Amino acid sequence: MYRIHCMNNISTVGTDRLAEAGYAFTDDASAADAWLVRSANLHEIELPEGLLAVARAGAGVNNIPVERCAERGIVVFNTPGANANAVKELVICGMLLACRDVIGGAEWVHANSDDPEIAKKAEKAKKRFGGFELAGRRVGVIGLGAIGSEVADALIALGAEVMGYDPYLSINAAWALDRRIEHVTDLNQLLSACDFVTLHVPATPDTRGMISADAISRMRPGAVLLNFARDVLVDEQALAEALDDGKVARYVTDFANPASANMKNAIVLPHLGASTGEAEDNCAVMAVGQLRDYLENGNIANSVNYGRVDLGPLVQGARLALFHQNVQGVIGRVSQVVADSGLNIENMSNVSRGADAYTLIEVTGEVGEDVQASLAELPDVRRVRVICPAS
Ligand SMILES: NC(=O)c1ccc[n+]([C@@H]2O[C@H](COP(=O)([O-])OP(=O)(O)OC[C@H]3O[C@@H](n4cnc5c(N)ncnc54)[C@H](O)[C@@H]3O)[C@@H](O)[C@H]2O)c1
Ligand SMILES: O=C(O)CC[C@@H](O)C(=O)O
């Protein structure tokens, strides 16, 4: 039976499903067949020989060496959309906190809690904590994926004007967006037009530092920046200067670090975006479901390094799961080895993503160790798994 190592606390709603299916849990990461992870940084950790999969209970995978895993035939999963509602709600909360001095007002009440005259004094003090409304403001949403699209829709419902920027948006995702969202193709246009700018893109080499000194200089004077995506998207030194001189009025971020924690006019949270019971359960259930489908059936859904393959549940025969380079001739050589061993191919799916490819073959007959070894020796093949139905 498969052994799972949890790198972080994962909701028991998910892990119970593994335990019920007979999976074992191990504290020894190097002895596990698969890892479940949230935000633990895996870049510096050695990937054990036997590791088959890493499932991220969350959206971002910048804490995982995705390409190194692909080279080793280790499938990396994430859970798209599973925590989007939680993040959306906190982003809207962050915007409202930037509009109204709720934090200052609550601190004032706390500081004056022993004063018997507090009710009277509050009526005088409150003018210090006034604000403005979100309705009618223009908000720029950068990245219109699971979270950005929900944020954009919620803002429309609150009466804001919304501009969206996402050069990689799929046609289906674009159709699903509220038609009142103005789609812009030039990031600078969004930056110069909006009172609020909110970031919802993954941290990749392309997006790192996208809110640069130049981008900040293009923002409207007194604009508010929200970052619930990743800290590395923002040039924090340039932002600190813009907050100091008032060019940017407020920075609301989910990423506390020595720079952000000391910024003037910043509201800095300790990575709370996905910290709701609902989001943690959703992510754990999705991560565990995908992991089981891969380990038990060889199917791959929502992987960030291998394409989608679905042959349904494995009920009889066996499956050969092959990870290989996406080059000519591999499938022919694999089919030859299978045919030479007397196995009959019942079903097969092959999918490539860039330089990496995955082929899942269902066969009748028993797959001997010699067949697995012959397949593993073929040129360009990285890993071969033989999956048998659960007895
Ligand atoms: N604060 C938190 O707790 C928390 C929780 C979940 C996700 N996140 C972060 O938010 C990010 C987004 O999450 P999601 O679930 O919406 O992911 P998603 O993959 O559904 O959406 C990301 C969107 O960004 C777009 N994009 C990529 N590069 C872009 C670019 N250069 N310019 C504009 N758009 C670009 C993509 O096309 C996609 O539509 C995650 O990668 C993660 O880093 C943070
Ligand atoms: O697990 C968390 O708490 C945060 C997850 C979040 O950053 C994500 O990328 O989904």
Model pLDDT, residue 74:
98
ipTM: 0.99
List all residues 6 or more positions away from 125 whose beta carbon is below 8 Å from its beta carbon.
108, 112
% helix, strand, coil for the chain, step of 5: 35, 25, 40
Average pLDDT (182-202) is 98
Convert the pLDDT of each residue in 317-334 to its tens digit. Answer: 999 999 999 999 999 999
* CA of 172, nearest ligand number: 1
Q: Which atom of ligand 1 is nearest to the CA of 168?
A: 37
Q: Rounded CA gap, 350 and 309, in Å? A: 7
Convert the pLDDT of each residue in 277-322 to its tens digit. Answer: 999 999 999 999 999 999 999 999 999 999 999 999 999 999 999 9
Ligand 1 in contact with 169 (CB < 6 A)? Answer: yes
Average pLDDT (248-270) is 98
Nearest CA to 247 out of 209, 220, 266 is that of 220
Distance from the alpha carbon of residue 148 to the mean position of ligand 1, in angstroms:
7
Distance from the alpha carbon of residue 269 to the mean position of ligand 2, in angstroms:
13
Ligand 2 in contact with 38 (CB < 6 A)? Answer: yes
* CA of 40, nearest ligand number: 2
Question: What are the backbone angles phi and psi of residue 77, rounded to the nearest 5°?
Answer: -110, 155
Residue 391 has pLDDT above 80, yes or no: no
Distance from the alpha carbon of residue 142 to the mean position of ligand 1, in angstroms:
9
Convert the pLDDT of each residue in 105-131 to its tens digit. Answer: 999 999 999 999 999 999 999 999 999
Q: Rounded CA gap, 139 and 150, in Å? A: 13
Q: Which atom of ligand 1 is nearest to the CA of 201?
A: 24
Q: Looking at ligand 2, which residue's alpha carbon is closest to its atom 6?
A: 58
Question: Which residue among 87, 201, 283 has the greatest number of ligand 1 atoms within 8 angstroms of its CB, and so is best to mutate?
Answer: 201
Ligand 1 in contact with 274 (CB < 6 A)? Answer: yes
Nearest CA to 308 out of 37, 75, 146, 53 is that of 75
Judged by DSSP in three states, 344 sits in strand
Ligand 1 in contact with 198 (CB < 6 A)? Answer: no
In eight-state DSSP terms, residue 79 is -
Distance from the alpha carbon of residue 129 to the mean position of ligand 2, in angstroms:
32
Model pLDDT, residue 257:
98
**CA distances, 78 to each of 57, 249, 302, 310 (Å):** 6, 35, 6, 17
What does pLDDT average to over the chain? 97
Provide the total of helices (H) and of strands (E) in the chain, helices listed first. Answer: 13, 16
pLDDT band at 172 (very low <50, low <70, confident <90, very high): confident
Distance from the alpha carbon of residue 362 to the mean position of ligand 2, in angstroms:
36
Please tell me the pTM assigned to this model: 0.96
Ligand 2 in contact with 60 (CB < 6 A)? Answer: yes
Q: Looking at ligand 2, which residue's alpha carbon is closest to its atom 1?
A: 38
Residue 235 has pLDDT above 90, yes or no: yes
Q: Rounded CA gap, 83 and 86, in Å? A: 5
Residue 362 CB coordination number (10 Å): 23
In the chain, the percentage of residues whose pLDDT exceeds 70 is: 100
Q: Rounded CA gap, 285 and 37, in Å? A: 13
Q: Rounded CA gap, 347 and 317, in Å? A: 11
Residue 311 CB coordination number (10 Å): 16
Torsion sign over Cα 115, 116, 118, 123: negative
Ligand 2 in contact with 298 (CB < 6 A)? Answer: no
Q: Which atom of ligand 1 is nearest to the CA of 207?
A: 31
Distance from the alpha carbon of residue 268 to the mean position of ligand 1, in angstroms:
19
Ligand 1 in contact with 146 (CB < 6 A)? Answer: yes
Taking every pair of C-alpha atoms in the chain, what is the biggest distance, in angstroms?
91
pLDDT band at 37 (very low <50, low <70, confident <90, very high): very high
